[in-house]
Structure 1
Amino acid sequence: MTSLADIWPPFGLTLTTPRVTIRPILDDDIPAAVDAARSGIHEPGKSPFSMPWAEMPADELAPNMAQWYWRCRGNFTKDSWTLLLAAWRDDEFLGVQDLGAKNFKTLKTVSTGSWLKQSVQGQGFGKEMRAAVVSYAFDYLGAEVAESEAAIWNQQSLGVSTSLGYEPNGIFRDAWGEKVEEVQRVRLTPTTFKRPDWTLKVQGHEELKRYLKL
């Protein structure tokens, strides 16, 4: 019988760390993602996102999240793609880790972003999730650079970056909703990457690699 991964190979990717299973968000996962976001991601008025989507009213948040997941799938090409990956601890939805690239075949550069529900923050899951996708990008996709960014006040995110070996890559001003933020870019290479003391387990890579024509 044909599976979803046979139809759309990114669905077959699974990254496993000691505590977390990271895999693409399916339609059946969207309610869990919405519930996690509604439970709270950040303090009111202190959005770590350039678009303050988590502050939307509950009745607007759900369709906005679903549309974003569908849009990323619909716009996924070998030249420009974003993998939206759900992080699970057993049957508990923890948050989302994304991995994206533009003109990857030439630039060999990926970018990352993530969120965790508040109830599981401060337990090292953000670092574990980021280490997983960066390890996958370097060791399986052949990436040469991984980039990320965060508001300069977001020491939690920047702390994760520093702990993994990211180096500062410039500060810029940007409009985040109605606010102006100073944003710190950071950059990681295989040489500067402070690898975790565990080995990433990967399933579904070969099919995704063929789909991306790498």
Structure 2
Amino acid sequence: MRNWPLPELSITTPRLELRHPSLDDLDELADRAAEGVHEAGFMPFMVPWSDGEPAERARSVLQYQFRTWATFTPDDWSLELAVVHEGQVVGVQGMIGKDFPVTREVETGSWLGRRFQGRGIGTEMRRAVLHLAFAGLGAHHAVTTAFEDNHASLAVTKKLGYREDGISLHARKGEPVITRRFRMPREDWTESPDIKIHRLDRCLPLFGLPMSGVSEA
């Protein structure tokens, strides 16, 4: 699209492609949500969108993705990337920036279809989006949060070398729950030569950044 270049953006790793989702990708992503993303009786998300019936979960995913497209501005953006493994959409890796040209801080969040969990995909897709943040957008900090009982997310965060950044209290299903915050300054990030960013340059103004003028594959 001449006036909206985000669909051109992708990041590749040895096993994954993270890309701005097409309508077909969104349909697949909705299928993953309908299949389930966590066990019953557990809620890893602040907004309990995954508690509904399968068809409700599927619609919720589609509506949320469309909202992020409609509200994307340089001062307040949410980039949601479909994660593709062996030709199949398996989840989503998100990254949020508010006043990014000033703060140079991003926040990441993700979910993965339950039947694709436990394969290291969650770690690899987080590494990919951190590469986009630091190498592509020039971020100074990346932050993330997780409920204290979300052991899978906490394990990925610790593996990648974030620093503890405090706690917050939230209400979850009528009960207080602790969320743990983590921060990665740019100097703690380790660049991964096996991760590649494709066709970012035309997208940079959408993030409030100038185009680099570098030709990209």
Amino acid at match of 2:48: P
Amino acid at match of 1:213: G
TM-superposed CA distance for 1:35, in Å, is: 1.1
Give the Cα–Cα distance (whole angstroms) in 1 for the partners of residues 35 and 190 of structure 2.
32
1:52 maps to what in 2?
A: 48
Amino acid at match of 1:61: R
Three-state SS of the structure 2 residue aligned to 1:86 is strand
2:196 is aligned with 1:201: yes
2:183 to 178, 182, 187: 187
Give the Cα–Cα distance (whole angstroms) in 2 for the partners of residues 96 and 138 of structure 1.
19
Amino acid at match of 2:137: L
TM normalised by structure 1 equals: 0.93
Three-state SS of the structure 2 residue aligned to 1:49 is coil
2:135 is aligned with 1:139: yes
1:129–1:53: structure 2 CA closer, same or farther, 3 Å change rule? same
Q: Note if contact 1:164-1:195 (Cα within 8 Å) is conserved in structure 2.
A: no
Give the Cα–Cα distance (whole angstroms) in 1 for the partners of residues 180 and 39 of structure 2.
20
Three-state SS of the structure 2 residue aligned to 1:191 is helix
1:175 maps to what in 2?
A: 171
2:76 to 55, 74, 80: 80
TM normalised by structure 2 equals: 0.92
Give the Cα–Cα distance (whole angstroms) in 1 for the partners of residues 199 and 35 of structure 2.
31
TM-superposed CA distance for 1:68, in Å, is: 0.5
TM-superposed CA distance for 1:194, in Å, is: 4.2
2:180 is aligned with 1:211: no
| Count of residue pairs brought into register by the alignment | 209
Q: Note if contact 2:96-2:107 (Cα within 8 Å) is conserved in structure 1.
A: yes
Amino acid at match of 1:121: Q
Gaps of 5+ in 2: 210-217
TM-superposed CA distance for 1:180, in Å, is: 2.3
Q: For each residue in 1:45-87, what CA deviation from the matched residue of structure 2 results, as whole angstroms up to 9, or x when unmatched?
A: 2011011111211232222211101111111001110111000
Amino acid at match of 1:181: V
TM-superposed CA distance for 1:40, in Å, is: 1.6
**Bigger Cα displacement from structure 2, 121-130 vs 60-69:** 60-69
Q: For each residue in 1:82-123, what CA deviation from the matched residue of structure 2 results, as whole angstroms up to 9, or x when unmatched?
A: 111000013211100001100000000000000111111111
TM-superposed CA distance for 1:195, in Å, is: 4.5
Amino acid at match of 2:182: V
Give the Cα–Cα distance (whole angstroms) in 2 for the partners of residues 177 and 51 of structure 1.
10
TM-superposed CA distance for 1:199, in Å, is: 2.2
Q: Note if contact 1:51-1:177 (Cα within 8 Å) is conserved in structure 2.
A: no
2:108 is aligned with 1:112: yes
Three-state SS of the structure 2 residue aligned to 1:122 is coil
1:29 maps to what in 2?
A: 25
Q: Note if contact 2:100-2:208 (Cα within 8 Å) is conserved in structure 1.
A: no
Name segments (4+ residues, structure 1) moved above 4 Å.
none
Three-state SS of the structure 2 residue aligned to 1:43 is coil
Amino acid at match of 1:200: I
Q: For each residue in 1:25-57, what CA deviation from the matched residue of structure 2 results, as whole angstroms up to 9, or x when unmatched?
A: 222222201111122211112011011111211
Three-state SS of the structure 1 residue aligned to 2:208 is coil
1:68 maps to what in 2?
A: 64
Gaps of 5+ in 1: none
Percent of residue pairs identical: 34
